[in-house]
Amino acid sequence: MYEVLTAYRYELLYSLGVLILLLVIQFVLKKAANKVGKRSEINITRTRLMFKYINILILLIAAFLLAFAWGVGLTDLSLIFSSVFAVIGVALFAIWSILSNITSGIIMFFSFPYKIGDTIRIHDKDLPIEAEIEDIKAFHLHLRTRDGELITYPNNLILQKAVSLIETQRRNDEGKDAL
């Protein structure tokens, strides 16, 4: 055991340093996402979704750095990652709308001005929608119309269309009660 530790001491120390550094970065990123979520009054489930994205990012960075630390050459790493990304790129090109919706979900986490419970109007010439936001998922919004119809609306479309906030009767009544 001692021989293994002495033979690979630099790799082990580098691995330990990388893991500690990435854990600190992960903690800071999660703390920042949590702070943004609380400040913007974002639902905790959406904040947890950001935590998953942060975990995936840290895992990819760790795989790259640890492979480099254990002697995988830069040319070998570039070959592996380019091959993997080529396969992923072809697969994602076939399902580009999913990637677009995930990216829109991340953008909406940080800058979407509407919250769950708000009633919005989507100004679409083909299908105008006026509904209450029931839930905001990674790929789509759940909207409930006044007739009780549930509409799933893709995140990438909500960022492309004009949307206005409708003051609901419930909010107006609450405001009158406060006066």
The residues pairing with 119 across neighbouring beta strands, listed in sequence order, are: 132, 166
pLDDT at 150 over 80: yes
pLDDT at 94 over 70: no
Q: Which residue ranges make up each domain of the chain?
A: 2-94, 113-178
Q: Are 139 and 98 in contact (CB under 8 A)?
A: yes
Does residue 105 sit in helix, strand or coil?
helix
CB-based contacts of 14: which residues, under 8 Å, 6+ apart?
69
CATH number of 2-94: 1.10.287
Specify the pLDDT at position 12: 87
Of the candidates 110, 94, 96, the one whose C-alpha atom is nearest the C-alpha of residue 159 is 110
46 vs 122, residue with greater confidence: 122
pLDDT at 121 over 80: yes
pLDDT at 95 over 80: no
Q: For residues 64 and 44, what is the distance between their CA atoms, to the nearest angstrom?
A: 31
Q: In percent, how much of the chain has pLDDT > 70?
A: 91
* The overall pTM is greater than 0.85: no
Q: For residues 90 and 49, what is the distance between their CA atoms, to the nearest angstrom?
A: 25
Instruction: Say which CATH topology domain 113-178 has.
Output: SH3 type barrels. (2.30.30)
Specify the pLDDT at position 147: 93
